């Protein structure tokens, strides 16, 4: 594992003989107990993920808002202090470089949180596209640990470790300098990637193991990347490299809500995305469920009911909550209507499936 990057919990993993895998160049746990057990903990009670491999880039200066707004699809000018906003960074042709969460501290200070495998790419892109604006960029990834506490009991468990009233923290908002257990200076946002209520905790790197251990004692279950993927898939959430790539634009991915083509500041990819929106994309990401037994996997071919090849699976799994195969696929737009019958090729057999609306899993 010497060549892989290590999160602040690496020593904890070694001490507890947690098996690690290469994920985007990082040594990360796929599971602690079992993917099903961890998945169900997040759906029914509370689980915790080490997300310290995610990248954090600090943007400061008097022109921070305008600079950032010129590089992302959503409208930064609509953000208030302590807001978190979902964004996509695009190339000129509308293809996605990464999808990111933007944190606004104030008008002259922002954080861009990017996917682990894309941190260097985003960092270089931000630097290359800095013209003469009065902004400073700093990659602070190595100094920050990130834990995600997710599930219906997330607030209850977290509240035992902080005096801050978590009920006052609304979805997509954050609060700085909280004390969590014995650790001060924790930034806590009400965000997540599981389809459940929950929080993401940005912690000084050296303090991350302490917060992890305290949260385990408070009743959270340690969860790995395996259940994180099944949870986000049930919630119909895109994963970069699957539903969003340099060739799959946010319009194709069904992420138009985060693309403000009419905002005041011109941004990278605006013309291409405006054209796609007006003309309609040639291909679209859809959600589907299997109608017979079979587990769809990435890159499996998708056919129309008549047997014509129309696309491929971008993500797929056996849903632990729904007990059936579900997935997302990139298909021809004229074959992308809800209720449409499909065939997914699984081990040389074409298995019936149906396009359905996302998310696949909804809370009662």
Mean pLDDT split into 10-residue runs, the chain, 364 residues:
87 97 94 98 98 98 97 98 98 98 98 96 97 94 98 98 97 95 96 97 98 98 98 98 98 98 96 97 98 98 97 98 98 97 97 98 83
* Token duo for residue 141: 């990834």
Calpha distance 238→223 (Å, rounded)? 20
* Token duo for residue 30: 């796929």
State CA 322 to chain mean position distance: 21
> Tens of pLDDT along 45-59?
999 999 999 999 999
Structure pTM? 0.97
CB 298 within 8 A of CB 327: no
The rounded percent of the chain whose pLDDT value lies above 70 is 99
* pLDDT score at 363: 80
Calpha distance 128→113 (Å, rounded)? 18
How many CB atoms within 10 Å of residue 238?
A: 24
Calpha distance 54→46 (Å, rounded)? 21
Task: Give just the sign of the alpha carbon dihedral 161, 167, 172, 178.
Answer: negative
* pLDDT score at 1: 45
Number of H helices, E strands in the chain: 8, 20
* Token duo for residue 342: 């499909």
State CA 6 to chain mean position distance: 20
* Token duo for residue 93: 């042709």
* pLDDT score at 2: 55
Give me the residues paired with residue 332 across strands. 283
Peptide bond into 359 cis (omega under 30): yes
Cβ neighbours for 149, distance < 8 A, ≥ 6 positions apart: 46, 47, 48, 157, 158, 198, 199, 200, 201, 215, 220
Calpha distance 355→255 (Å, rounded)? 17
Residue with tokens 């978590």: 166
How many CB atoms within 10 Å of residue 236?
A: 21
Residue with tokens 């009670």: 45
Q: Would you list the DSSP string of 25-62?
A: TEEEES-SS-HHHHHHHHHHS-EEEE-TTSEEEEEEST
How many CB atoms within 10 Å of residue 349?
A: 10
Residue with tokens 């491929």: 312
Q: What is the largest CA-CA distance in the chain?
A: 62
Q: What angle do CA 188, 85, 220 make, to 5 degrees?
A: 35
| SS3 category, 295 | coil
* pLDDT score at 177: 85
């Amino acid at each position: 594992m010497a060549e892989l990057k290590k999160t602040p919990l690496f020593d904890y993993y070694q001490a507890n003989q947690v098996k690690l895998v290469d994920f985007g160049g990082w040594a990360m746990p796929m599971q602690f107990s079992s993917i099903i057990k961890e998945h169900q903990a997040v759906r029914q009670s509370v689980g915790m993920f080490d997300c310290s491999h995610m990248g954090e880039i600090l943007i400061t200066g008097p022109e921070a808002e305008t600079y950032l707004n010129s590089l992302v699809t959503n409208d930064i000018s609509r953000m208030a202090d302590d807001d978190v906003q979902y964004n996509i960074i695009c190339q000129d042709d509308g293809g996605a470089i990464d999808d990111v969460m933007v944190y606004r501290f104030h008008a002259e200070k922002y954080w861009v949180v990017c996917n682990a495998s894309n941190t260097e790419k985003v960092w270089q892109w931000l630097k290359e596209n800095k013209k003469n604006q009065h902004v400073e960029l700093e990659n602070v990834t190595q100094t920050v640990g990130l834990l995600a506490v997710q599930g219906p009991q997330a607030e209850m468990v977290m509240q035992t470790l902080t005096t801050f009233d978590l009920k006052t923290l609304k979805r997509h908002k954050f609060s700085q300098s909280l004390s969590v257990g014995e650790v001060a200076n924790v930034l806590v946002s009400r965000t997540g990637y599981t389809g459940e209520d929950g929080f993401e905790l940005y912690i000084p790197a050296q303090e991350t193991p302490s917060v992890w251990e305290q949260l385990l004692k408070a009743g959270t279950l340690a969860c790995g990347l395996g259940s994180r993927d099944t949870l986000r898939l049930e919630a119909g959430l895109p994963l970069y490299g699957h539903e969003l790539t340099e060739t799959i634009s946010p319009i194709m991915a069904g992420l138009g809500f985060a693309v403000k083509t009419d905002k005041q500041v011109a941004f990278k990819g605006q013309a291409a995305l405006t054209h796609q929106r007006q003309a309609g994309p040639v291909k679209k990401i859809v959600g589907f469920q299997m109608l017979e037994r079979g587990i769809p996997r990435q890159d499996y071919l998708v056919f129309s009911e008549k047997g014509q090849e129309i696309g491929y699976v971008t993500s797929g799994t056996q849903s632990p909550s729904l007990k059936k195969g579900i997935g997302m696929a990139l298909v021809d737009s004229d074959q992308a209507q809800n209720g449409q019958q499909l065939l997914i090729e699984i081990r040389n057999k074409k298995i019936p499936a149906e396009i359905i609306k996302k998310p696949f899993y909804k809370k009662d």
